[in-house]
Structure formats: structure tokens, C-alpha cells
Structure 1
Amino acid sequence: MGRHKGIMSDHLKEEIAKELGFYDTVQKEGWGGIKARDAGNIVKRAVEMAQEKLANQQKN
């Protein structure tokens, strides 16, 4: 079974990892080095950001 291309850009994941404070682990060990909880927090934050963006678009 092949790996699927992620929906989130690497740039967005990196920015969120920096915001959440574990980007140094990503730099040292790659994405496989982060905890499952941290991966879940990336997804959670990305969803929050998308919801905020959608809410702002609906206001305008």
C-alpha cells in the first residue's frame, strides 16, 4: 500500500509545529519523530484555522 499525498502543505505543518513548540523535533527527527498527540494537535489547530478563515469570509 502506497503513501498518500497529504492534504496539508508542509509549510502549514511547519508553521503550526513552530506555534505549538515542537518544530525542533521535526527538524532533528523528521515528522516520524513527533508524538501522536502532537500530530493530532497539528490537525486540531489546522481545523481551527480553517474555521476562523471561513467565519471571517462569511462576515465579509
Structure 2
Amino acid sequence: MSRRRGIMSEQLKYEIARELGVDHIVATEGWGAVSSRDCGNMVKKAIELAERGLASRQF
């Protein structure tokens, strides 16, 4: 099976990782070394950002 392309850009993933303090793990060991908990926190943060973006577009 082929891997699907991610919805989040690499830039956004790095930005969120930096905010959550796991960017050093990504830089030294790669995305595979980030814990499941931290990945879940990244997803939560991305959802929050998306919801804020949608809320600001509504009139």
C-alpha cells in the first residue's frame, strides 16, 4: 500500500512541534521517535488552529 500524503504541511508540523517542545526530538531522531502522546497533542493543536481559522471566516 502506498502512503497517503499528509494534510498538514511540513512547515506546520514543525511549527506545532516547536510550540510543544518536541522539535529537538524531530531534529535529532526524526518523526518516528516522537511519542504517541506528543503526536496526539500535535493533532489536538492542529485541530484547534483549524477551528480558529474557520471561526474567523464566519460572518
| TM-score between the two structures when normalised by the length of structure 1 | 0.91
**Which ranges in structure 1 are unaligned for 5 or more consecutive residues?**
none
In structure 2, the partner of 1:43 is 43
Q: Which amino acid aligns with 2:14?
A: E
In structure 1, the partner of 2:11 is 11
RMSD: 0.9
Number of residue pairs matched by the alignment: 59
Identity of aligned residues (%): 53
Provide the secondary structure at the position in 2 that maps to 1:54.
helix
Question: What is the alpha-carbon distance in structure 2 between the residues aligned to residue 42 and residue 8 of structure 1?
Answer: 11
Moved over 2 A (4+): none
| TM-score between the two structures when normalised by the length of structure 2 | 0.93
